[in-house]
Amino acid sequence: MLKRNKISIALLATSVVVSASAFAEESVSSTATVTVQNAFDFAETAPLTFGTLTVTKASGTYDAATVPTLIINPDGTLSEGTSDADTGGSIKRIVDGSPASFEVANAASFTDLTITLPADSAAELTNPSAPNDNGKFTLLAFKALKDGETTAVTTDGLIGTDLNGSAVFTVGATLKIEGNKDYIDGEYVGNYTVKIAY
């Protein structure tokens, strides 16, 4: 083979390699997405109830510092605060109450949520059928307890979710009377707000 032919063949081979390299590249236009879900499900599954009570006002000189209280802890235990029937009035339990229960679902898994509970005296229970001078109940010292835990939290405390982004917790509070007022029979109701947030 002539030298000139060898050069031509070599150039042709090089051309083929270059052409193959140039046409072996492909591209695809793709799409990236993200879904924002800041919302989650939050519901009360059982109401806070202080049961059924007898209430009597102070029999002597009234002293607000000695007014009786009924405490429903978030773990379901009940207790009564120190009081003086002569100066603060009295309450006695007939039927025990129970804490409220709440459930969170469809939140981020293994995430701490911040709970906001009502401030002291922000919630009152009144009897819509009662006269204006009838006594009312005030709710104080709200606390929450996540299922499976032993330490309750107050407002700005944390409630952690599980693998499924769920959490169940209970809420208790302290009920305080107006020891210098009469209470007619009937149901006393009032609203309060519990908030959960990331």
What pLDDT shows up at residue 195? 98
Domain assignment present for 4: no
Specify the higher pLDDT residue, 96 or 5. 96
Look at residues 176, 158, 142 and name the one whose alpha carbon lies nearest to residue 48.
142
Distance between CA atoms of 149 and 22, rounded to whole angstroms?
66
Tokens found for residue 5: 């032919």
- Report whether 39 contacts 72 (CB < 8 A): no
Domain assignment present for 97: yes
Domain assignment present for 3: no
Domain assignment present for 106: yes
> What residue numbers bound the domain in which 54 lies?
41-197
CATH of the domain at 75: 2.60.40
- Residue 96 — pLDDT band, cuts 50, 70, 90? very high
Distance between CA atoms of 102 and 118, rounded to whole angstroms?
15
When mean pLDDT is compared across 6-10, 23-27, 113-117, the lowest value belongs to: 6-10
Q: What does pTM read for this prediction?
A: 0.83
Give the residue-averaged pLDDT of 182-196: 97
Domain assignment present for 1: no
When mean pLDDT is compared across 3-12, 17-26, 115-124, the lowest value belongs to: 3-12
Domain count, the chain: 1
pLDDT above 80: residue 57: yes
Residues in the chain: 198
Give the residue-averaged pLDDT of 19-34: 82
Phi, psi at 145, each rounded to 5°: -140, 120
- Residue 4 — pLDDT band, cuts 50, 70, 90? low
Helix, strand, or coil (residue 100):
strand
pLDDT tens-digit map of 136-157: 999 999 999 999 999 999 999 9
With a pLDDT cut of 70, the percent of the chain lying above it is: 88
Specify the higher pLDDT residue, 65 or 192. 192
Contacts by residues 150-153 (CB-CB < 8 Å, ≥ 24 positions apart): 152/73, 152/74, 152/75, 153/115
Tokens found for residue 140: 């104080």
Phi, psi at 175, each rounded to 5°: -100, 130
When mean pLDDT is compared across 70-74, 82-86, 91-95, the lowest value belongs to: 82-86
